[in-house]
């Protein structure tokens, strides 16, 4: 079964606005990773945050992790039309196997 659940399922914004996507998960994790997928293509790794980290930045991306609430958020600032894609969170369970379990994803549309 899916470990993570993203919300919203779909998000439509205007260029220049910020986009926030949330991810919740069920078990203790080793790390959480965010990916982007453009229209049925392969996944692009965006950022990895470890269970002992609370926030990470990469360019226009900001990821937070709250292990007490078992949730993470991905913020894209000053969005661009090229950010239009599906975004997935994926978790690696602490003490478990090495496999990565994916959430259902958020489909982001950035309108020019």
Partner 1 sequence: SAVISQKPSRDICQRGTSLTIQCQVDSQVTMMFWYRQQPGQSLTLIATANQGSEATYESGFVIDKFPISRPNLTFSTLTVSNMSPEDSSIYLCSALVGQGAGTQYFGPGTRLLVL
Instruction: Determine, following the binding rule CB under 8 A, whether residue 33 of this chain makes contact with partner 1.
Output: yes
Q: Across-strand partners of 45?
A: 35
Distances (CA, A) of 90 to 22, 41, 46, 71, 82: 12, 17, 11, 11, 22
* Sole binder of partner 1 in the list 91, 105, 108, 110 (CB under 8 A): 105
Burial of 75 (0-12, 13-18, 19+ CB in 10 A): middle
What is d(CA 72, CA 65) in angstroms, rounded to the nearest whole number?
Answer: 4
Instruction: Determine, following the binding rule CB under 8 A, whether residue 98 of this chain makes contact with partner 1.
Output: yes
* Sole binder of partner 1 in the list 48, 60, 61, 109 (CB under 8 A): 48
Least Å from the CB of residue 16 to partner 1? 28
Number of residues that bind partner 1 (CB under 8 A): 25
Q: Which is nearer to partner 1, 6 or 83 (CB)?
A: 6
What is d(CA 7, CA 62) in angstroms, rounded to the nearest whole number?
Answer: 16
Q: Which is nearer to partner 1, 44 or 78 (CB)?
A: 44
List interacting residues with partner 1 (CB under 8 A).
2, 30-31, 33, 35, 40-45, 48, 50, 88, 90, 92, 97-105
């Amino acid at each position: 079964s899916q470990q993570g659940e993203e919300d919203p399922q779909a998000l439509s914004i205007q260029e220049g606005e910020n986009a926030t996507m949330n991810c919740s998960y069920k078990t203790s994790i080793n790390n959480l990773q965010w990916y982007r997928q453009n229209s049925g293509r392969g996944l692009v790794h965006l950022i990895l945050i470890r269970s002992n980290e609370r926030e990470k930045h990469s360019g226009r991306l900001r990821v937070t992790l709250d292990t007490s609430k078992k949730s993470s958020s991905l913020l894209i600032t000053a969005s661009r039309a090229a950010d239009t894609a599906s975004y997935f969170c994926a978790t690696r369970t602490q003490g478990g196997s090495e496999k990565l379990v994916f959430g259902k994803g958020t489909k982001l549309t950035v309108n020019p």
